Every structure is written in structure tokens, then in C-alpha cells.
Structure 1
Amino acid sequence: MTDTSPIRVDIVSDVVCPWCVIGYRQLAHAAQETGIALELHWHPFELNPQMAEEGEDLREHITAKYGTTAEQSREARERLSDLGKGLGFTFDYSDDMRMWNTFRAHQMIDWAEEQGRAHDLEMALFEAFFTHHADLSDNDALADVAASIGLDRSAALAVLENGERAEQVRRKEQFWTSQGISGVPAMIFERQHLVTGAQGEATYASILKQLAEMQAA
């Protein structure tokens, strides 16, 4: 265990982004292996800000957005599932999965942040979507996820229904896009070192060691 202060990591992420949960899990494993503590701060990003209320079929959405074939999509899902399994996370892809607009999910995370539970809620939302196929645009489904980690369900539902967090979340999203963030995950280490994409445990371990050494110097 090092004697350094925790390394601050700001993570710009969306809860329907598979590489975001993989990247986080890789980072967490690297932190555990190196004995270097993390100070995590999650920030909102919408992969599909213009998506309609009813969402879209996931496979059709991926095909239209990225031009992938059905075979390429299947192979990508298998790769993600294997990566997730190795990191202790379950991707349960199915042909009837849908992609959702996540603006309301980010509003609930913003609310949970004031209670020191943003990280826990992020993890629960990743699992709700990828493992249990929850509709993350639905107020009741989101409130259920909040309740599952011990937050007040009725309070969560009220936040979603009155939209009190909407403007603040929009400002946060706009800040990160104004900083040049156009894809996620985007991790900013110690407020100055930007690393995009899921880079693997070895890379994250190397970054954390270098930053810890800089702190100790």
C-alpha cells in the first residue's frame, strides 16, 4: 500500500455504454492490485441525446449508428460478455433488448451525488440495464433501482417527475462536451491527464503508479 493521497479520477460516462463499465472495472482492478486508492467523480454524457421516448431496438440501433452487420454485432456482444465475465460483470444480451435515452437516469445520479451515493447508483444502473434489461428512461424503473441501493424511492420518483435536476445535468453535459469530450468512457486523472476508452488493467495500473510516484516525489 502506498502512502499517497487517493488519485482523483473524473469519469465521463453513460450508463448504457458497455465500455464504460468495462473501463471502470479495469480501473478498479488496477487500483486494487497496486494498492492505490481512488477518489471517483462520475459525470453525465448521453450517447443518444435525441433518442425518442420509446427507445430503439438495440441491434437495429447499433446497425444504423455504426454500420455493423448482424454477425459483427454478435461477435461484439460475445467479446463484451467475455470481458465482463473476467471482470465480474454480467452482460446478458438478448435479441429483444432496447436502447434508451438516459437523461432521466443522469438526473437521478445527480440527486444521488448529494447523498454520497452517485457511484453506487452508477453501478446499479449498469447492472439494471446490461444484466436485467431495465428501461432506464422510465421513472418507476429508475426509482426501483434507487430503492435497490437503499435510497428513498418516493424521493427519487419526485426528483424525476418534477425535473428539478434537468437544467443542472444539461449544464454538466455541455461542460464536458465543450472540453472536447465526444466519446466515453473518458477518464481525467488528477484533473489533467485525459485517457479515453477502456484501456485495460495494465495500462491503468501503469498510470496510477506514475501518478502515485509523482505525488510522493
Structure 2
Amino acid sequence: MSHSKLKIDIISDVVCPWCVIGVQHLKDAVVKNNWQDRIDIEWYPFELNPDMPPEGENLREHIARKYGASAEESEQNRQRLIEFGKSVGFEFNFTDETRIYNTRQCHILLDYAHSVGLQTQLKIALFTAYFTDGKNISDTDVLLNIGEKVGLEVDEMLAYLHDSAEHDKLDVIEDQWREMDISGVPTIVFNNEKGLTGAQSVESYEEMLRHYLGEDSSKK
């Protein structure tokens, strides 16, 4: 019996650690049930800090300014993320020098990557470059190097980055999220109908996948 693929839209930002956790939990739910060939994932942009300057901002200072978190709270959150990362096989490396960066260029390149079937590969590479390797993902040369390693063409990447229409497209998409009252990431939308916001458990994603794939929940 053939099945049509389930469309899964992931709205996220490259500098969102909970996006890493949520996406890994989604992946675990898919792999656990051997649903890899029954889903079609597309990533959509969400800039947590669209006004962030290219040089970025110290992460701890940013968290204190934006969320009012104390140094102690910030450190506890970092340790929590490190442990969550270990549980899903992802390495978060935080130091006192860790910075948060503007991600606009990342999202432009992710749109190009989607057009050539390498979007997920680039997204994961960007997560790793930022959270594990501490790279400045607002730096064009850094991005070109990351993109080239996953199979993107340098000339095409530069063309996308310099295309005003691509930047306008990004603004339109992000305006759409605001109109839909989507203010948190990750938000994972199933079949253009139901969305789950935040890093949900493997079981929560599994339940949603079973529903939309028409799987009997008793067959576990």
C-alpha cells in the first residue's frame, strides 16, 4: 500500500538551542518507527533577533538584557542545555565568550539550499557550526565555507545573499508568522494544520505523526 508523504514545516532560528533539541526528538520519533520515507520536511525562517548587529552580542549579556536572567540562572540554563544535548547526541559548547549573532544571511542560504535539496543538511551544519564549534555565522566567509562543505555552489550562495528579492521574501514570511501569532520556536507544523511549539518530547511528536500518518497507536 502506498502512502503520500506528510508535510512537516519547521519554523526555527539557527541560534535557538531548543530548536536543536526539538528537531532531534522529532527525528528520534521518525527513526524509531521507520517513517523516514513517509515525511517531507521544510525549514522556515524565524529571526529571534532581527536587529542584532553583525558583530553580535555576548550571549550571557544578551540573555540578561532580553529576558532579565541573572548570571546564576543563565549558567543553570546552559548546564541544562548541555545535558539535554548529550541525551540527543548533540554537543553544546558554551563559554564566557560565547556570542549570539544575526542570522539573516543563514536564512537566505537555507532558502537556496531548499531549492537544491540540501536544506536539512545545511540547517544541521549551521547548528553544529554555531553551538558546537562557536563559529560566527553572521560572517559571510564562514557561511560560504559551511555551505560549500554541504554541496552548495559559492557563486549561487553569493547571488542569493545579494538578491534584494530574497531579502524581501524573508520579510514576507516572517510577517506571516507574526500575523499567525507565532512568536516562539521551534514551531513544528504538521500537514499545514496542527503546530507544536517548543521542544516537545519524542512521545509527543510520535503521537502527532501517528495521527497524521494514519497509524494505529496500539501498534507500538
How far has the Cα of 1:23 moved from its partner? 0.4
Structure 1 counterpart of 2:133, which letter? Answer: H
Structure 1 gaps of 5+ residues are: none
- SS of residue in 2 equivalent to 1:165: helix
Structure 1 counterpart of 2:207, which letter? Answer: S
**How many residues align structurally?**
214
Q: Which of 11-20 and 156-165 deviates more? A: 156-165
How far has the Cα of 1:40 moved from its partner? 0.4
- Rounded to whole Å, the distance in 2 between the matches of 1:170 and 1:60 is 27
How far has the Cα of 1:207 moved from its partner? 1.3
- SS of residue in 1 equivalent to 2:151: coil
How far has the Cα of 1:82 moved from its partner? 1.1
1:25 aligns with 2:24: yes
1:102 aligns with 2:84: no
- What TM-score comes out, normalization by structure 1 length? 0.92
- Rounded to whole Å, the distance in 1 between the matches of 2:155 and 2:93 is 29
Deviations 1:91-149 (A, max 9, x none): 11111011111111111111111111111111111111001111111111111110111
How far has the Cα of 1:193 moved from its partner? 0.5
How far has the Cα of 1:39 moved from its partner? 1.0
- What TM-score comes out, normalization by structure 2 length? 0.91
- Rounded to whole Å, the distance in 1 between the matches of 2:208 and 2:128 is 27
The corresponding residue for 2:5 is: 6
The corresponding residue for 2:34 is: 35
Structure 1 counterpart of 2:29, which letter? Answer: A
- SS of residue in 1 equivalent to 2:214: helix
1:58 aligns with 2:62: no
- Rounded to whole Å, the distance in 2 between the matches of 1:118 and 1:134 is 19
- SS of residue in 2 equivalent to 1:8: strand
- Rounded to whole Å, the distance in 1 between the matches of 2:62 and 2:133 is 19
Contact between 1:14 and 1:45, CA under 8 Å: does it hold in 2? yes
1:111 aligns with 2:112: yes
Contact between 1:143 and 1:154, CA under 8 Å: does it hold in 2? no
Structure 2 gaps of 5+ residues are: none
Structure 1 counterpart of 2:49, which letter? Answer: N
CA shift in 2, pair 1:178/1:141, >3 Å: same
Structure 2 counterpart of 1:56, which letter? Answer: E
The two structures, once aligned, show a CA RMSD in angstroms of: 1.8
- SS of residue in 2 equivalent to 1:184: coil
- Rounded to whole Å, the distance in 2 between the matches of 1:135 and 1:5 is 39
Contact between 1:10 and 1:189, CA under 8 Å: does it hold in 2? yes
1:171 aligns with 2:172: yes
